[in-house]
Amino acid sequence: MEKQRFNLAILIPLLAIVLVATLAIVLGITFTQIYHSTGEIGVIIIGMSIVILIPVFAYLAEKKFNSTN
């Protein structure tokens, strides 16, 4: 049990770092490609849609999974 806890204490932060780094790289590549193909307006539209849609999806997911019925 103690070895499993130690392994998880190492594994979970490493997985979080890898996930965040992967997301940052993917977003960077995506924004760079959009900038080169459509210019600044494409980056603005994608960025604003991320800013608006992520909280909307989070609200809908919380509303669906946190029902008190």
Which among 30, 22, 21 is positioned nearest to 50, based on CA atoms?
30
| pLDDT score recorded for residue 42 | 94
pLDDT, tens digit, 9 for 90 and up, residues 30-53 = 999 999 999 999 999 999 999 999
Burial of 29 (0-12, 13-18, 19+ CB in 10 A): exposed
Give the residue-averaged pLDDT of 10-34: 96
